[in-house]
Amino acid sequence: VGRDPQRRGPGHAGEPGVCRVPVLPRLTVALISTGDELVEPGETASPGQVYNSNRVMLQALLEQQGCDVLDLGIIADTAEALHEAFTVSRDSADLVVCTGGVSVGEEDHVRPVLEALGGLVFHGVAMKPGKPFAFGYLDDGSPEGVPLIALPGNPVASLVGWQLLARPFVQGCQGRTVGPLQQFKVRAGFSRRGNQARRELLRVVLDWQGGLPVAFLAGGQGSHMLRAASQAHGYLMMAADTDVEEGHEYPYLPAGQFVD
């Protein structure tokens, strides 16, 4: 006996009875790279120039979050060029993410231009790498304006700033629930002097040969050393003024939680 596929009783599998689902539009994110020293991958770098690895990295990370990326390219290290880029971003995007120019050097214009076009909420976090991170709003300087996330220029600092601070903010703007960081204790397989003033995130790999995970440094820990960060399994999160002592346990953040 055949059955009319249009006549399914209540509670039929796959039919919850919901005919309208609330959704939010995709975020349009303006991506800005600052620095006269930057060249794009594939171009020939002259002495003193560096490749713009942040642009490729952040575009991929934003797209993983379901964002539409408006890439404004490399902006010169002048207040006038940055003012124009921020103005275009404010008028065409829901969020602005920029890298570089956020410290306190003579050619670091992000902070004063942001203050001129809107308002700075904070600048600097007690975290290594990632200290120069800044956040504010374009337009009227209030949460009604266009939010701007300013990441450091060094690639590892930019990556850590994205993972711990920018990524949760983007997810919140999308209406998603931001869960707590996943972490557990692991033993250190090395000793290291701690940072006196800032929480430090050491890029480490785990060795499971003894049955329990032991953390070892993945390589050089400089903020420009992206290779070690790409090879790391996660971060050993050290409180300020805390030395790493071999055999002791410390909080570990698996890197897999930052990949969508």
Taking the domains of the chain in order of start, what are their residue ranges?
28-173, 184-258
Residue 7 has pLDDT above 60, yes or no: no
Which fold, 184-258? Beta-clip (2.40.340)
Residue 253 identity = L
What span, in angstroms and rounded, lies between the C-alpha atoms of 119 and 101? 17
Q: Does domain 28-173 have CATH number 3.40.980.10?
A: yes
**Cα 19–chain centre separation:** 36
Average pLDDT, the chain: 91
Between CA 153 and CA 54, with CA 193 as vertex, the angle to 5 degrees is 15
Q: Using DSSP bridges, classify how beta strands 199-207 and 214-217 pair: parallel, antiparallel or unpaired.
A: antiparallel
pLDDT on residue 10: 52
User: H or E stretch including 86?
Assistant: helix 79-92
C-alpha radius of gyration, the chain, whole number: 22
pTM of this prediction?
0.88
Helices first, then strands: H and E counts in the chain: 6, 14
Residue 142 has pLDDT above 90, yes or no: no
